[in-house]
Chain A
């Protein structure tokens, strides 16, 4: 195998490879084997391992990244340099450009045109996390809660939603769900993240604040206590706790 099929960095290869996989369709007498050619973006990581990510039908790397031994790549995959240079690179450039345009439009306060561009980005890569967040935020900006709900459901399905790399988008989306009074969704959203980061006091505080706005003061108190268990001097949580105590005392009267 050559060192670089599509590109080379510090002696490591990266590029597009293809492999043929057999799938079966139909049932009973009509069951038949179909050979499918799939493309993958492969990057050598070192120590005999490579990262492998499937290419979408628009030739953009999408979905989970798997680690595969270099030996397996060499024996079972076929290098596709022309797919890399003529299809994947232009598609990734197009996606990057579209996303940048969408983000610029949203910053300029043009949520409608930003929404179109985020949708265009998602047409290139349906699981693109930045585009999904962006589309959801644009819809929330203009109070389209029904459509935003479909995006919310997609976001909680995508693993990368709760990745720390997306912390800013994650927070902004949660805040906007709350501002749009989509409290149930906001709470579910934070709860999904909490499963991954149970020691994040900010998440617990956000859950407390959402519960408070839902007027579920008991639950709000529970989340605030948990946030304060993690960081006792968390000033916003202390303020919220005082407010919750007042509400609960009033209810008891």
Chain B
């Protein structure tokens, strides 16, 4: 049996358990965001970098997709020892949601530890369930890479640790609204296509970054946000496949609005129902001979 669908992150879990209100959670998250300073801020505070240098590094980060510290080292602005000190300061001064909740007097330390243990138990159970689902797939390594890339992209895109809770073969008839194909040419003669079939509510939530502030309808901007998410996922997937020894020669993301909305559950193709904390979608992974 699939595990109970739980909230996607610890804060959501606490709300779903009635331990705190959405309002309290928003307040705590705001506190947390204000308290957690980036490494650049620590460097300025300690006189290791000037604000202008921090801004230049951040601008470079957007081009190079490299961590702040790595660029500062490359440019000779920080030594490894100084970077280690800053990373340590970041560890010491980082604030967790739980810490904020205790500071605000919303949770007692004992209650917090008990809830965290329960949350971890449910999460572990979900992971175990996904692992079992993956074991049933023919090409479980590829499936694992796809799931991992989706989860990493969730974090990167929405700054939230969304998880895939289960992969079920018995998908209920679902009306899909958006189809996203991530296609990769791998090796000399193979192509991998991951097709994601998104129901309207999932597509809207994804476009809104799972903040609860989703757009009202699946308009052009919504599709662009969905595409943005899958472009991130594509990069993670390419890197995961390369780590597995596959050469990724080319890749593309194609987003299609489905109208009229077909009910594709288990009819024309074998599709899995990927259940995440933020809702479910259809997932199909096919390996074919290369050649568009």
Which of chain A's residues has its CB closest to B113's CB? A110
Interface string of B171-185 (1 = CB under 8 A from A): 000000000000000
- Give CA–CA (A112, B88) in the complex, Å: 17
Q: Is the interface of A mostly helix, strand, loop or mixed?
A: helix
Q: Are A135 and B84 in contact (CB under 8 A)?
A: no
CB of B109 closer than 8 Å to a CB of A: yes
Q: Which of A110, A116, A122, A157 contacts B84 (CB 8 A)?
A: A157
Q: Which of A105, A110, A113, A151 contacts B88 (CB 8 A)?
A: A151
Q: Are A110 and B91 in contact (CB under 8 A)?
A: no
Q: Which of A105, A113, A116, A150 contacts B91 (CB 8 A)?
A: A150
Q: Are A119 and B85 in contact (CB under 8 A)?
A: no
Interface string of B181-220 (1 = CB under 8 A from A): 0000000000000000000000000000000000000000
Q: Are B113 and A150 in contact (CB under 8 A)?
A: no
User: Given that A116-B102, A150-B84, A150-B87 are known contacts, is A135 also in contact with B92, CB under 8 Å in the complex?
Assistant: yes
Q: Are A150 and B116 in contact (CB under 8 A)?
A: no
- Give CA–CA (A113, B94) in the complex, Å: 14
CB of A93 closer than 8 Å to a CB of B: no
CB of B70 closer than 8 Å to a CB of A: no
Q: Are B92 and A112 in contact (CB under 8 A)?
A: no
Which of chain B's residues has its CB closest to A117's CB? B109
Q: Are A113 and B84 in contact (CB under 8 A)?
A: no
Q: Are B96 and A116 in contact (CB under 8 A)?
A: yes
In this complex, the interface size class of chain B, counting residues with CB under 8 Å from chain A, is 20 to 34
- Give CA–CA (A113, B87) in the complex, Å: 21
Q: Is the interface of B mostly helix, strand, loop or mixed?
A: helix
Q: Which of B85, B91, B98, B109 contacts A135 (CB 8 A)?
A: B91
Q: Are A150 and B88 in contact (CB under 8 A)?
A: yes
What total of A-B pairs shows CB separation below 8 Å?
Answer: 47
Q: Which of A116, A135, A157 contacts B99 (CB 8 A)?
A: A116
- Give CA–CA (A122, B85) in the complex, Å: 13
CB of A180 closer than 8 Å to a CB of B: no
Which of chain A's residues has its CB closest to B92's CB? A122
> In the complex, what residues of A have CB within 8 A of residue B92's CB?
119, 122-123, 126, 135
Q: Are A153 and B112 in contact (CB under 8 A)?
A: no
> In the complex, what residues of A have CB within 8 A of residue B94's CB?
119
Nearest Cβ on chain B to A32's Cβ, whole angstroms: 16
Which residues of B line the A interface, CB within 8 A? 81, 84-85, 87-94, 96, 98-99, 102, 109-110, 112-113, 116
Task: Sample 27 A-B pairs with CB under 8 A, ordered by A number.
Answer: A105-B109, A110-B109, A112-B98, A112-B112, A112-B116, A113-B109, A113-B112, A116-B99, A116-B102, A119-B91, A119-B92, A119-B94, A123-B93, A126-B89, A135-B92, A139-B91, A150-B84, A150-B87, A150-B88, A150-B90, A150-B91, A151-B91, A153-B87, A154-B84, A154-B85, A154-B88, A157-B85
